[in-house]
Chain A
Amino acid sequence: MNRRKFLIGCAWSGMSATLADAVLAQPTDPWTNEFSQALVADPSLEGYAGIAFDTTFSAKVAFAGKPPASLAGTLYRNGPALHEFGGLRYHHWFDGDGMAHAFQIADGNLTHTGRLVLTEKLAAETKAGRRLRAGFGTALANGERPSSRDSLNTANTNILLFAGELLALWEGGSATRLDPGTLATYGPKIWRADLKGMPFSAHPKLDRHGTMWNFGLDSLSGLLVLYEIGPDGVPARVEAMQLPDMSMIHDFAVTARHLVFLLPPLRFVRESFESGLSFLDSHEEIADAPMRVLVVDKSDLATHRVYELEHGFAFHLGNAWDDESGVIRFDYVRADDASRMLVGFKEIMRGTTKASKPSQSTHVTLDTRAGRCAQQTIVGGVEFPRVDERVTGERYRYLYQASQIGEGAIGRGFDAVRRLDVDSGAIDQYFYGSEFLAEEHIFVSESAHSAEGAGFLLGTVLDLRRRRTLLSVFDAMNLAGGPIAQAILPHALPLGLHGNFQAA
Chain B
Amino acid sequence: MFHPIQPSSALLVAAIMSAPLGSLAADLHVEVTGVEVGTGAVKLGLFNQAVGFPSAPVAGQRAIATARTITAVFRDLAPGVYAVIAFQDKNGNDILDRNLLGIPTESYGFSREATGFMGPPSFDGAKVTLSGDIETITVTLR
Contacts and interface: CB of A to CB of B under 8 A. Distances in A.
Partners in one complex: yes
Interface of A: 144-149, 151, 193-199, 218, 220-221, 223, 225, 238, 240, 274
30 contacts: A144-B115, A145-B116, A145-B117, A146-B118, A147-B116, A147-B119, A148-B103, A149-B103, A149-B118, A193-B90, A193-B91, A193-B105, A194-B99, A194-B100, A195-B100, A197-B99, A197-B101, A197-B103, A197-B105, A198-B99, A198-B100, A198-B103, A218-B101, A220-B118, A221-B101, A221-B102, A225-B100, A225-B101, A238-B100, A240-B100
A151 B99 CA distance: 17
B97 A193 contact: yes
Interface of B: 90-91, 97, 99-105, 115-119
A223 B100 CA distance: 9
A208 B101 CA distance: 30
A147 to B, nearest CB: 4
B116 A196 contact: no
B105 A194 contact: yes
Interface centre among B97, B100, B104, B105 (most CB of A within 10 A): B100
Contacts of A223: 100-101
Contacts of A274: 117
Contacts of B115: 144-145, 147, 151
Contact of B117 (A147, A195, A238): A147
A193 B99 CA distance: 8
Nearest to B115: A147
B97 A194 contact: yes
B1 to A, nearest CB: 9
Contacts of B103: 148-149, 196-198
Nearest to A146: B118
B105 A196 contact: yes
Contacts of B119: 147
A145 B119 CA distance: 10
A148 B99 CA distance: 13
Nearest to A193: B105
A198 B101 contact: yes
Nearest to A145: B117
Contacts of B104: 197
Nearest to A221: B101
B99 A196 contact: yes
A199 B100 CA distance: 11
A193 B39 CA distance: 14
A199 B97 CA distance: 17
A43 B68 CA distance: 52
Nearest to A270: B118
Contacts of B102: 221
A378 B5 CA distance: 57
A193 B96 CA distance: 12
Contacts of A197: 99, 101, 103-105
Contacts of A194: 97, 99-100, 105
Nearest to B101: A218
A27 to B, nearest CB: 25
A193 B97 CA distance: 9
Nearest to A225: B100
